[in-house]
């Protein structure tokens, strides 16, 4: 309805865009009625933290009016409404761009770099930057976005490398002032990879829709991950003993919330599937071996190796005749998710 009127008024074609225009009008007579509503229905007109729009929204007014009887409403408002004598005035106009979503994959090569800023008791851990900060910095600078939200398909521990084709992620840019094009994204990708190639690398940067960005979390339950780990035994092992691990396929394990994450995750037993694994002794060693393993997303690999004091069952210790096994290093080789979504060229 408004679009057609604007077309006639300005002689321009109306079309939906990625821009939002917020017009704030003031009208003295309506302000008085709004104040009466607020006094009677304060719970419906509380301004939420971070809310940038006026508290008298269409939905809040509808909620207030539908919660009261007609008789009560007659005491609050003029009924039927009288004819307005004053013109409304345009108080302000704010133009913003809808959020922009950038998808891609990243590799992490440092064992001191966290995925997101990590603080404990106000002290930053690891390096003075993070994967999310390194990937979003140039995007924020170019678009002049107000802020960003980083989302990924899972996360690796700070001491774990992300190798192979990388981990899928999205970056939501809020209120950008400049738009991105495929050529600009390609240039930003090149610059990110030149910043510090010993820390991170990014690939396949592309623009996606909000609906496509929401699908990343939906893929969590379906994904598989492949890892490689260097492990050590408390006693000598033969290659024949390690070859037994190959026989275990699609093995279901029970994992009680690991001790190291109890401060942020609820205490629960979670079932996960170990799809396959294989191990090989390192040269000139009978105790150190390389483990390659593919599991369901969400499996705690470190705890599967050392058992976490028996909180993961079965575990590598029990599978190797109750030896004490520990993990020296861990890397993610692959996150089996098709990402970013293929562009729609139809």
DSSP 219-277: TTTT-EEEEEEEEEESS---HHHHHGGGG--SEEEEEE--GGGTTTS---EEEEEEEEE
**Contacts for 6 with CB less than 8 Å, ≥ 6 apart:** 12, 14
Helix (H) or strand (E) holding 2: helix 2-10
Q: Do residues 246 and 264 touch, judged by C-beta distance below 8 A? A: no
Q: How far is CA 112 from CA 129, 199, 313, in A?
A: 10, 9, 30
The C-alpha angle with vertex 153 and arms to 289 and 120, in degrees rounded to 5, equals 80
> How far is 67 from 74, CA to CA, in rounded Å?
14
Catalytic residue among 157, 187, 196, 326: 157
Q: How many CB atoms lie within 10 A of CB 241?
A: 17
**Burial call 73-98: b when 16+ CB within 10 Å, e when fewer:** eeebeeeeeeeeeeeeeeeeeeebbe
* Block residue for tokens 């409404």: 81
**Burial call 317-326: b when 16+ CB within 10 Å, e when fewer:** bebbeebebe
**Contacts for 214 with CB less than 8 Å, ≥ 6 apart:** none
Q: Do residues 288 and 328 touch, judged by C-beta distance below 8 A? A: yes
Helices (H) and strands (E) in the chain, counts: 10, 14
- Does residue 157 carry a catalytic annotation? yes
The first and second tokens of residue 33, run together, are: 């009625």
> How far is 118 from 125, CA to CA, in rounded Å?
6
> How far is 154 from 133, CA to CA, in rounded Å?
17
* Block residue for tokens 């990708």: 189
CA 312 to chain centre: 27
Question: Given this model, what pLDDT does residue 327 score?
Answer: 97
Closest CA to 227 of 122, 282, 156, 287: 156
Residue 135, classed as helix, strand or coil, is helix
Q: Do residues 154 and 225 touch, judged by C-beta distance below 8 A? A: yes
Question: Given this model, what pLDDT does residue 3 score?
Answer: 72
Q: How many CB atoms lie within 10 A of CB 259?
A: 11
For CA atoms 51, 53, 56, 58, the dihedral sign is negative
* Block residue for tokens 């993990």: 327
Question: Given this model, what pLDDT does residue 346 score?
Answer: 46
Closest CA to 233 of 242, 222, 220, 246: 242
**Contacts for 230 with CB less than 8 Å, ≥ 6 apart:** 282, 288, 289, 290, 291, 327, 328, 329, 330
Per-residue pLDDT of the chain (346 residues; tens, 9 = 90+): 567 777 888 887 776 677 778 888 888 777 777 777 777 777 777 766 555 556 777 777 788 878 878 777 777 777 677 777 788 888 888 888 899 999 999 999 999 999 999 888 889 988 999 999 999 999 999 999 999 999 999 999 999 999 999 999 999 999 999 989 999 999 999 999 999 999 999 999 999 999 999 988 878 767 899 999 999 999 999 999 999 999 999 999 999 999 999 988 999 999 999 999 999 999 999 999 999 999 999 999 999 999 999 999 999 999 999 999 999 999 999 999 999 987 655 4
């Amino acid at each position: 309805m408004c679009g057609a009127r604007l077309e006639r008024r300005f002689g321009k074609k109306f079309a939906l865009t990625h821009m939002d225009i917020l017009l704030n009008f003031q009208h003295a007579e309506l302000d008085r009625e709004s104040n009466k509503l607020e006094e009677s229905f304060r719970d419906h007109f509380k301004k939420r933290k971070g809310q940038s729009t006026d508290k008298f929204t269409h939905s809040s007014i509808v909620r207030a009016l539908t919660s009261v009887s007609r008789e009560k409403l007659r005491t609050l408002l003029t009924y039927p409404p009288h004819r307005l004598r004053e013109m409304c005035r345009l108080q302000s106009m704010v133009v913003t761009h809808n959020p922009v979503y950038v998808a891609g994959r990243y590799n992490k090569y440092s064992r001191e770099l966290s995925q997101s800023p990590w603080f404990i008791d106000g002290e930053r851990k690891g390096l003075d930057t993070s994967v999310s900060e390194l990937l979003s910095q140039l995007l924020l600078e170019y678009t002049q976005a107000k802020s960003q939200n980083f989302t990924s398909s899972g996360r690796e521990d700070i001491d774990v490398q992300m190798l192979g084709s990388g981990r899928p992620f999205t970056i939501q840019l809020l209120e950008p002032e400049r738009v991105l094009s495929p050529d600009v994204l390609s240039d930003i990708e090149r610059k990110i990879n030149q910043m510090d190639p010993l820390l991170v690398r990014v690939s396949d940067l592309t623009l996606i829709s909000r609906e496509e960005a929401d699908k990343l979390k939906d893929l969590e339950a379906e994904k598989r991950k492949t890892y490689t780990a260097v492990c050590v035994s408390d006693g000598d092992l033969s290659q024949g003993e390690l070859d037994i691990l190959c026989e275990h396929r699609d093995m279901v394990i029970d994992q009680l919330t690991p001790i190291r994450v109890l401060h942020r995750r609820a205490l629960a037993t979670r079932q996960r599937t170990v799809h396959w694994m294989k191990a090989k002794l390192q040269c000139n060693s009978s105790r150190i071996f390389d483990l390659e393993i593919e599991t369901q997303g969400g499996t705690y690999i470190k705890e599967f190796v050392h058992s976490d004091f028996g909180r993961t069952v079965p575990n590598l210790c029990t599978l190797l005749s109750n030896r004490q096994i520990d993990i020296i290093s861990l890397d993610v080789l692959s996150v089996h998710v098709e990402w970013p979504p293929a562009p729609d060229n139809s």
